[in-house]
A and B are shown apart, each in its own frame.
Chain A
Amino acid sequence: MIKLDSKIPKGPLAGKWSNYKSSLRLVSPANKKKLDIIIVGTGLSGASSASALGELGYNVKVFCFQDSPRRAHSVAAQGGINAAKNYKNDGDSVYRLFHDMIKGGDFRAREANVYRAAEVSNYVIDHFTALGVPFARDYGGMLDTRSFGGVQVSRTFYAKGQTGQQCLLGTYSSLSRQIAKGTVTMYERRDMLDLVIIDGKARGIITRNLLTGEIERHSAHAVVLATGGYGTVFYLSTLALGSNASAAWAAHRKGALFANPSFIQIHPTSIPVLNDYQSKLTLMSESLRNDGRVWVPKEKDEKRHPNQIPEAERDYYLERRYPAFGNLVPRDVASRAAKERCDAGYGVGDTGLSVYLDFKDAIEKQGKKAIEDKYGNLFEMYLKITGINPYEEPMRIYPAGHYTMGGLWVDYNLMTTIPGLYSVGESNFSDHGANRLGASSLMQCSGDGYFILPYTISDYLSDEIRTPRINTDHEEFDKAEKAAKEKIDRLMAINGKQTVTSFHKRLGKILWDHCGMVRSEEGLKKGIEMIDQLEEEFWKEVKVPATAGEYNQELEKAIRVADFFEVGRLMCQDALDRNESCGAHFREEFQTEQGEAKRNDAEFAHVSAYEYQGNRQREILHKEPLVFENVELKERSYK
């Protein structure tokens, strides 16, 4: 029986990490090079972990499915990265950042983890600057910041609308440096198919070489998953098309608990679905809500061009409903408000499924140049995709699947329930509760990799200095490799009539309709039934062309989609089990009179962590109670 132990250190909140850090055991430089660490994923969390551990002298092996570590989807983060520097003298502090995140996450995150994330945020900015990341500056040469949703201070560092790119490339440069030094070995174009556990400890992975189809074995003293979120389960999302859940899910199947799977952020400002062939949705950064005003017409079925609709006939519904935060309410609130207006018949565009994001006032007040400086590349991107110039007429936006707060359960050390298996960045569940605040994703990923994992994993590895290199001839490697090959053979043998993508699209639609922005008991139960049926059909009808022993992009997709059925089902299960609304999880049955999320702290102030029991078997729910010693649990209000 698994017992969840979060291993949160005792003592006052502000001193927990620094005291704990000093008590952690170390590994001597001579021993470090004898210890192998596998890291899967080269986004901000994976690449930062790899470079920091490489700098320490460990022997690191890093894997990514792209042709280069520089392409991981952290690269697409736009708006910024938070830190509690208080450079603006506007009352910011580590505590304030912590408090904003706890509240923003609707009181469903661990206090100690969130406080630590806020605490290390300042080092992250210092380090990126040292690496030559060109953050925006003001005329005195100091770093500039801007505001983001859900906060009343200006703490978001940025590099135009390409902050993720600049941070990732900075991290990629430090990773490249370690590769050149030989401390890190890079394995590109690999998919992780399985995790290998020997005597209860994570000791290696099975990968597929995407170019040759070869199944490979890699061993290590510890394994770190930095594999991102599972938002592509919706098919249409703001994620990269290659983003997937398979590595994390392989760990889940082998015993790593999966926490809060239903906590998925639907981002309010994406370019809406334009046609049936659409393969992805493009985000328009939240930072745009600093200057853009969201509105819909006051009349239903308004046919006039937005520029022809006079001021008095516009409903700036966020400013109306939430005067204190206005257009800068958190993402879950903004998304639901957009859905509410569209469902009520006030949506705009051909489908009625979009709202306006208008820069007219900002351009009049600040001038076109100032707006271009701040958001130039985003405006260009919008123009390219839609053919509409947002300097001249409002953008049309609609919510889209974006970020998964849920993920592998980890303790304070970022270790999963499998000893020696760690999870960092978006792939773990730890810091964002039921809703993530903007610009805190880059912050958490880099903090985990650069400033937290190197300390905690060394403590674990200090017990491993007598363990020789792990032999890949071990029978557990045989078993895992065999299972991986069998799964591939099974997929190749179906030879049905329907493409992998057609199944993925249908699965995405089921989840969007039944486990999206608004959920209900009835809808979720129906969703699970539909997933069951679709999964059966998939294993009878899917067609994977060519062979497994070559570069085969359809096979890659098939392996990922096969796992998404299970992921989707667990999302629905968790959403059903959680009989309350909180953050991004909104159950129709549980709302206040004003239509806001209604939490049930007495019964649900806990992390839901699921234990795999075999496909289609009800997973066992374990609860980690959340204890709030430093903040008062109250209704989250942005009014």
Chain B
Amino acid sequence: MEFKLKIWRQKNASAKGKFEDYTLKDVSPEMSFLQMLDYLNQQIIESDGEPVHFEHDCREGICGSCGLYINGRPHGPLTHTTTCELHMREFKDNTTIVIEPWRSKAFPVIKDLVVDRSAFEKVIRAGGFVNANTGSTQDANNIPINKKISDRAFDAAVCIGCGACVAACKNSSAMLFVSAKVSQFAMLPQGKVEAKERVENMVTKMDEVGFGFCSNTYACEYDCPKGISVEFIAKMNREFFSSKVCKSKK
């Protein structure tokens, strides 16, 4: 297979970036997308150029490091698939592939295709946890949890923190990411105790670090590699408003 690649190159955070064109020959359909980039980088290095920087680690769809905007879609053309799980057999031979970093004010570009996602960390640190100290708890089976509820909490907990939801949203909203964490804990008895404080703190922080409002287009769910449902956004909104209502009653 042969491809024309249009790749965003940017030396560092303050430099002005631009698209550069590359022609890549002898691509195997069995290559993963990142192996294709490795292959390109080997050729760039051998011809004395600077390789394209991109983030990756586990290469099996679970660490959330990789995240490329491919032909106008976060993680490329397949649903429920991270960039590292995408394979070249999904692309048509002799076509152009446009590769960009996540685009969001809250995720500034660091270099080439690498962005700074530390805004997510700030939101998690604002309340994405249960306040339980090590060793302070009881036997695990003393907290029975309905299987359906537990499974639903798991569905929210599978978020890999890649940022595709933000990249997909035209408002760069992080509602899907934040709501997944808020919902996981709000559904479980362990997290219910402090659910109100949690949702308030996390939502406030989310606004503060530069994420936009929900666009209601569901693009986040559509492009989430783990298929996290927008129902969690509704759940978070409910949690948020009820916490406000409770407060005003006091």
Query: What residues make up the interface of A, taking CB atoms closer than 8 Å to B?
Result: 51-52, 55, 66-68, 70-73, 75-76, 85, 87, 123, 125-143, 159-160, 162, 164-166, 169, 172-174, 176-177, 179-180, 186, 188, 211, 240-242, 274-275, 277-280, 282-283, 380-381, 384-385, 387, 450-451, 454, 497, 499, 501-502, 543, 545-546, 550-551, 553-554
Contact = CB atoms under 8 A, between A and B. Distances in A.
Interface string B140-171: 11011111001101100110110000000000
A67 B55 contact: yes
A169 B62 CA distance: 11
Contacts of A135: 140, 150
Contact of A176 (B53, B129, B147, B190): B129
18 contacts: A55-B134, A67-B116, A71-B64, A85-B141, A127-B132, A130-B132, A137-B146, A139-B147, A173-B129, A176-B125, A180-B125, A241-B59, A275-B30, A275-B31, A381-B85, A385-B87, A451-B135, A545-B45
B138 interface: yes
A463 to B, nearest CB: 24
A131 B145 contact: no
Contacts of B12: 550-551
Nearest to B64: A71
B95 interface: no
B62 A551 contact: no
A282 to B, nearest CB: 5
B27 to A, nearest CB: 9
B143 A129 contact: yes
A131 B61 CA distance: 24
A67 B128 contact: no
B62 A451 contact: no
A164 B131 CA distance: 21
A55 B56 CA distance: 32
B31 A277 contact: yes
B45 A127 contact: no
A52 B96 CA distance: 51
Interface of B: 12, 28, 30-32, 34-35, 38-39, 42, 45-46, 48-51, 53, 55-65, 78, 80-81, 85, 87, 89, 110-111, 114, 116-118, 120-121, 124-126, 128-141, 143-147, 150-151, 153-154, 157-158, 160-161, 184-185, 188, 190-191
A186 B135 CA distance: 23
A565 to B, nearest CB: 20
Contacts of B184: 132, 134
Indicate the member of B51, B110, B140, B141 with the most A CB atoms within 10 Å. B140
Contact of A380 (B34, B80, B124, B153): B80
Given A132-B185, A381-B85, A450-B134, A180 B126 contact: yes
Given A76-B58, A241-B59, A277-B35, A134 B121 contact: no
B191 A132 contact: yes
Given A134-B154, A165-B158, A279-B34, A241 B56 contact: yes
Given A125-B140, A275-B30, A545 B118 contact: no
Top 7 closest pairs, chain A to chain B, by CB: A141-B144, A173-B129, A130-B137, A129-B140, A134-B154, A180-B125, A240-B57
B140 A384 contact: no
A613 B90 CA distance: 52
Contacts of A134: 150-151, 153-154, 157, 184, 188
Given A67-B65, A130-B132, A282 B60 contact: yes
B43 to A, nearest CB: 10
A545 B161 contact: no
B50 A546 contact: yes
A174 B129 contact: yes
Contacts of A186: 121
Contact of A545 (B30, B48, B140): B48
